[in-house]
Amino acid sequence: MSDREPMTRTYRAALSLFKPVVRLWGRLEVEGLEHMPAEGPLLVVGNHDSYWDPVVIGLAAIKRRQVRALSKSSLWKVKGLRRVLDGMGQIPIVRGTGDADALDRAITELRAGSCIGIFPEGTRSLGRTLRPRSGLGRLVAAVPEATIVPVAVTGSTDIPRFPKRPRLHVRFLAPAEGLGPGESPSDLALRIVEEIRALAPITAAGRRPKKIATTTAEG
Could you report the per-residue pLDDT of 86-132, keeping only the tens digit for each? 999 999 988 655 678 899 999 999 999 999 999 999 889 999 999 99
62 Cβ contact list (under 8 Å, min separation 6): 7, 12, 15
Q: Is the distance from CB of 3 to CB of 39 less than 8 angstroms?
A: yes
Task: List the domain boundaries for the chain.
Answer: 9-197
Confidence of residue 216 (pLDDT cuts 50, 70, 90): very low
Phi-psi region of 126 (alpha: psi -120 to 50; beta: other; left: phi over 0): left
Question: H or E element: which one contains 151?
Answer: strand 147-154
Above pLDDT 90, what percent of the chain?
Answer: 79
Alpha-carbon gap, residue 150 to 169, rounded angstroms:
14
Mean pLDDT taken over the chain: 90
35 Cβ contact list (under 8 Å, min separation 6): 149, 172, 173, 174, 175
Q: Please tell me the predicted confidence (pLDDT) of residue 205.
A: 80
Phi-psi region of 122 (alpha: psi -120 to 50; beta: other; left: phi over 0): left
Looking from the CA of 155 toward its CB, the CA atoms found within 13 Å total: 20
Q: Please tell me the predicted confidence (pLDDT) of residue 99.
A: 75
Q: Please tell me the predicted confidence (pLDDT) of residue 215.
A: 43
Q: What is the mean pLDDT of residues 6-35?
A: 96
pLDDT at 1 > cutoff 50: no
Above pLDDT 70, what percent of the chain?
Answer: 90
Handedness of CA 93, 67, 12, 5 (dihedral sign): negative
Looking from the CA of 44 toward its CB, the CA atoms found within 13 Å total: 34
Q: Are strands 29-31 and 169-172 parallel, antiparallel or unpaired?
A: parallel
Q: What is the pLDDT of residues 147-166, one digit of tens each?
A: 999 999 999 999 999 898 99
Confidence of residue 207 (pLDDT cuts 50, 70, 90): low
pLDDT at 213 > cutoff 80: no
pLDDT at 182 > cutoff 70: yes
**pTM of the predicted model as reported, rounded to 2 decimal places:** 0.90
pLDDT at 9 > cutoff 90: yes
213 Cβ contact list (under 8 Å, min separation 6): 127, 128
Give 200: exposed, middle or buried? Use CB within 10 Å, 0-12, 13-18, 19+. buried
Q: Please tell me the predicted confidence (pLDDT) of residue 105.
A: 94
* Strands laid side by side in the 91-93 sheet: 29-31, 169-172, 147-154, 42-46, 115-118, 67-72, 91-93
Fold of 9-197: Glycerol-3-phosphate (1)-acyltransferase (3.40.1130)
Looking from the CA of 181 toward its CB, the CA atoms found within 13 Å total: 0
Confidence of residue 5 (pLDDT cuts 50, 70, 90): confident
Question: In 132-184, which residue ranges form alpha helices assigned H by DSSP?
Answer: 135-142
